[in-house]
Structure 1
Amino acid sequence: MDLPSIVVHAPGLDGSRRVTAGDETLGIAYHLDDVVEILRRSDLDESDLDEIEVEESDIIDWQGGGPDDWPGLSEHPAE
């Protein structure tokens, strides 16, 4: 079975990151633990991934920063 590419999108102003698989939004994450939980609750075969595997998985595309990048509102530049 071909798994869809999972994308953890760039952080929003509140630090949240949307998690998608193909065209489907799986959830909103505020921390790496949330990404693990979102994948666990999804119907994907990757549901047994732990934090380390999520950080290193080849099927996850971390956009706008890696698994350690969860900036809050205070870390975004003022407009």
Structure 2
Amino acid sequence: MSWQAPIVVHPPRPGHPGRRVEVRGVVLGTAYGDADLVEFLRRAGLGDADMALDDPHLVEWRGPGAHVW
């Protein structure tokens, strides 16, 4: 089994705004921007969530790349 970051931000779906966010396989919801993502991660118990967004060991941005909403 290959290693995967514990937080996955999925690509936007055509015709639907936002990106689905998972932490260790549990869907937290749809984020529509960095502020939403930080709030999801804060609620999941990740301190300094805003600093974690660019850490590839924690967050895997799938699709068009990081911070593309």
2:7 is the alignment partner of 1:6: yes
Match of 1:29 in 2: 31
Partner of 1:53: 52
Q: Deviations over 1:38-64 (max 9, x none)?
A: 00011x4xx212434312352110001
* TM-score (norm. length: structure 1): 0.66
Deviating beyond 3 angstroms after TM superposition, the runs of 4 or more aligned structure 1 residues are none
Matched length? 64
Deviations 1:8-32 (A, max 9, x none): 0001222210100222101210001
Secondary structure at the aligned position of 1:35 is classed as: helix
**Structure 1 pair 57/8, CA: closer, same or farther in 2 (3 Å)?**
same
Instruction: Name the counterpart of 1:66.
Output: 65
- 3-state SS of the aligned residue for 1:25? strand
Range with bigger deviation, 9-18 or 52-61: 52-61
Query: Once the two structures are aligned, what percentage of the paired residues are identical?
Result: 34
- The alignment's C-alpha RMSD in Å is 1.9
For 1:55, give the aligned amino acid. D
TM-score by length of 2: 0.74
Larger radius of gyration: 1
